A and B are shown apart, each in its own frame.
Chain A
Amino acid sequence: MASLLQFSKPTDLSGYVLMIPSVSVGNLPQLTIDLLIKTYSFEKIASIWHPAIVSMVGSDPYNSSSSEVCTACEFYSNEKLKIACIQLRSTLDYKLAKKFFDDIYNVIKELQLKKVIILSSAFDYELHNINKERFYFLDNTQNNSFATISNIKQLEMNNNGKYLINGSGFSLNLYDVISRGLKCVLLGKYISEGDNRPDAQSLLEKTFQILDMQKKLKNIEYPSSWAYVFGGPPPIGIY
């Protein structure tokens, strides 16, 4: 099999925080990563190949005049923020998913990262009391700072002694694998399908809060590919 990560130049990611989105309700984690990449001008540093990733190609989602092709899974980073992220624009072949989790764990283990944050989202009908916290987390770092953050709760195990988050895709499975040997946080928000742009913004803000980087928050910029969230412009001929 081809190597999973192919860096475009020598890169040292030691001490970086890595964010990985899980394919989940409203594609919220992917939207959040899109906002992060666009707002903070992240640089694409590597392509990712794995047969488990359902392939997808399109034009550069952040720059409509670029001739670059975007693929289903790409690796970005920002040197100033010391944050790297994986953008997964497609889904995984469930038969190969386990191999993908193991392979990605083996690769990122070598990068000497500070921490991995898995972003996810869950169906908000799971929230029986809408006044309760809308964000949830799981953490293997034993970090007490979560107690000082508002509107967030730690996930609780169900009666079978397992965590269950409906609509969160592979986030728990990936968390289980990565937390075997790396510091890992699973962070998500209860949402419903629809226009999830505000949710993405709030998840990004919450992520920065957890990283204690609120001062680095900037005015959010939407990628140009979001211009057609509700479809393209109407043809002039209809008027």
Chain B
Amino acid sequence: MSALSFGEIVEPSTRALIDEDLEEYPEYLNITPEWEGNFTVPNEINSLIFLESRIVKDLIYSCVLVQEKSLCKLMNGGLEIFALPNNQFIVLYSEGNGLNTGQVVESLKNWIYTAKEIYAITTDSVYNYQNPYNVEKPISLIRVLTNSENTFNYKKLEQPNLVTGLGACLLTYCIHQSLGKCTLFVIYIDKSHLDSYSSTAVLEVLKKLDIPIKNSNVKISSTSNNNLYM
């Protein structure tokens, strides 16, 4: 965690306080996935590549998709699927209201079963990385978790580091269904936005997955998402 500033409000970290006021949990409401576009599962999927986190998505739009139109969108799940050559499919995910990650993954069940390989790429701040070694943390680093053989030249994510989000959910689902074909890449970056240095790590993973990169010399806007201190 980065150093605290004077006067900064620190929220209690205990998970016990989450939903503390919920004496009664709400009744379960079944939400139906609302797809827009062509959601038909292709006959062949060589690789299904899931990308989450805003910074990776910005890079993908600039370097890989470049004005590509999505095949379909999950309107109440923050999901968009794009087709690439060679039966590769990119799935972009952003957390939103509606379905949670578990429900999103279940709605993609047929895609997951059809795919020969499943990859998920997520990012986290390098400050959240629990370094088990007696050396300084690098500016960016890549770790892998997989339920098949680790054929990539990246280290396995060391304990006690944990990953959450859609990537974690996918890997959990594949383990549970005994689908031994899912690999999760965690890219630790030292900034909240990508610059030319940290984007190299993401592009490196994309290249290893044989994703065609149309434009690797891109300018990524580092404008913040809010108007505080503009």
A binding-site residues for B, Cβ under 8 Å: 1-2, 6, 23-27, 47-61, 64, 67, 69, 71-72, 89-91, 93-99, 101, 121, 123, 162, 164, 166-170, 173, 193, 224-228, 231-237
Contact of A225 with B159 in the complex, beta carbons under 8 Å: yes
Task: Check B168 against A57 for contact (C-beta < 8 Å).
Answer: yes
Question: How many interface residues does chain B have, given as a range?
Answer: 35 or more
Known: A58-B159, A59-B159, A95-B26. A2 touches B176 (CB 8 A): yes
CB neighbours (8 Å) of A72 from chain B are: 168, 172
Bound complex: CA A226 to CA B130 (Å):
12
Is residue B147 within 8 Å, beta carbon to beta carbon, of the partner chain? Answer: yes
A161 to chain B, nearest CB (A): 13
Give the distance to chain B from A233, nearest Cβ to Cβ, in Å: 5
List the A side residues contacting B160 at CB < 8 Å.
58, 61, 225-228
Q: Select A58's contact among B18, B137, B145, B167, beta carbons within 8 Å.
A: B145
| Bound Cα distance A126, B198 (Å) | 48
| Complex contact B14–A193 (CB within 8 A) | yes
Q: Is the CB of A97 within 8 A of B25?
A: yes
Query: Which residues of the partner chain A approach B158 to less than 8 Å between Cβ atoms?
Result: 59, 64
Q: Which residues of B contact A225 (CB under 8 A)?
A: 159-160
Main secondary structure on A side of the interface with B: loop
Task: Evaluate contact between A53 and B146: CB separation under 8 angstroms.
Answer: no
* B interface residues (Cβ-Cβ under 8 A, vs A): 14-20, 22-29, 100-103, 105-106, 109, 130-137, 145-147, 150, 156-169, 171-173, 175-178, 184
Contacts of A53 in B (CB 8 A): 102
When A and B form their complex, which 10 residue pairs have the shortest distance between CB atoms, in order from nearest? Answer: A51-B102, A55-B169, A99-B28, A49-B176, A55-B168, A225-B159, A58-B162, A97-B25, A25-B16, A232-B131
Please give, as numbers and ranges, the residues of chain B lying within 8 Å of A59 by CB-CB distance.
Answer: 145, 156-159, 161
Q: Are B133 and A233 in contact (CB under 8 A)?
A: yes
A67, closest chain B residue (CB): B156
Q: Return 16 A-B CB contacts under 8 Å, by A number.
A: A1-B106, A2-B176, A6-B176, A23-B16, A49-B177, A51-B102, A54-B100, A54-B164, A58-B145, A58-B160, A67-B150, A93-B102, A94-B26, A167-B14, A168-B16, A169-B16
Q: Is the CB of B134 within 8 A of A235?
A: yes
A52 near B27: Cβ-Cβ < 8 Å: no
Which residues in A have their C-beta under 8 angstroms from that of B29? 95
A233 to B130 Cα, complex, angstroms: 9
